[in-house]
Amino acid sequence: MAFRSLNPATGQLIREYDTWGESRIDQALQLTANAAPAWATTPMNERSALMRNAAQILKERRVDYARIITQEMGKLYVESLAEVDKCAWVCEYYAEQAKQFLADELIASDAGSSFAAYQPLGTVLAVMPWNFPFWQVMRFAAPGLMAGNTGLLKHASSVPQCALALEETFRDAGFPKGIFQTLMISASQVKSVIEDSRVHAVTLTGSEPAGRQVAASAGAALKKCVLELGGSDPFVVLEDADLEITVPAAVVSRYANAGQSCIAAKRFIVVDAIAEEFLQRFSASVQALLPGDPMQRETTLAPMVSEALRQELHLQVTDSIQAGATALTGCEPLPGQGTFYQASILDHVKPGMRAYDEELFGPVAIVIRVKDERDALRVANDTRFGLGGAVWTQDSQHGETFARKLQCGCAFVNGLVKSDPRLPFGGVKASGYGRELSLHGIREFVNTKSVWIK
């Protein structure tokens, strides 16, 4: 199997890379194993200086890196620029905060002195997806490396140029050889890497099936695992929502990145009293989205990453329509060059339909009408997923009460669900477990060691 860099907007093959064999994998694992002990004892101020270097390189190369992201996975160029900028931010954030986050924590006990010390676990293998090919990696790498761990990246096979650019960033920032490496390996090779004694923990962002496989392998090897999986995030519109701000946010939350985001709004749960007005405005805005070359600023709808995923999305849509859902707008692949799918809205979605029960990973919004707020909460929690959720109301205090009842890892009131270096990020139920970012993220892959002194 080869890693193929394919432009989704044109179908053009940009470049291919060979998959590594066992010998090359062993060399990489040994290089990391050799580098790990010295890195674990490197003073925090030296790690911080290197991480700031990485942030600076990301800023200097943002145009080049954004172009790679757009050409390789298809997102709008303006979104790619924002992704690179966010990566620089997370590097700066942990360069500044890691020392404080990992400082010894004094704990009163029967000892003369006792405390919790936070020490690196070793080497963390990251299995990462294509949809945010820089950000997903950096939100593991920045805290992980600052904690004194080394990192191995198994990136999605469709974004090899992004994977190599990330390795280049850390290398050119001055990180010692072996501290961060990209492994050009296939999905079938991941299990043996997890089982290798030179790997100490695993993190995965990806699909639910992939998460189950990686978790099973990590569990069998008794290794720490963090999973960020799919989502079917509710976007709840209460009767008193201000549609002037709610509708534009709904469009961005569903159609950014061509809808290919775990935390995109997937289920628009709208109270009947406001449903018609919301849908009239929402539909008009969705129909105005403009597909085209993602490198051009006038383009507002990007292609999907591959033909296979476009076909799967369309099958979910057509099956739901046959089961009684209404195609309010779109709901067809766009003909011609590139893997574009119309910006779409499915109305009158009900339990038992694929659109209700499954995650739709693409530019299709599903609308579920509910009679009142109580019904809205029931529907919002009626899913096996639990990543994010948002509620829209002019009473923010009431919104907080509602948000606290959502069964998810990230709840937002009058705002888009997003990941932020300052806030813990992750899900519950089939959306995974563990947390990334903030203090909580950097402490996922450390040994919390109790020290007792008499």
Ramachandran category for residue 47: left, alpha or beta (phi over 0 → left; psi -120 to 50 → alpha): alpha
Give yes or no: 277 in active site: no
With CA atoms as reference, report the closest residue to 391 among 234, 200, 253, 182: 234
Beta strands 13-18; 2-6: pairing state: antiparallel
Q: Which amino acid, residue 167?
A: E
Give yes or no: 87 in active site: no
Which of 162, 262, 331, 410 is labelled catalytic? Answer: 262
Direct distance between the N- and C-terminal alpha carbons of the chain, in angstroms, rounded to an integer: 58
Which of 72, 92, 228, 436 is labelled catalytic? Answer: 228
Residues that are catalytic: 228, 262
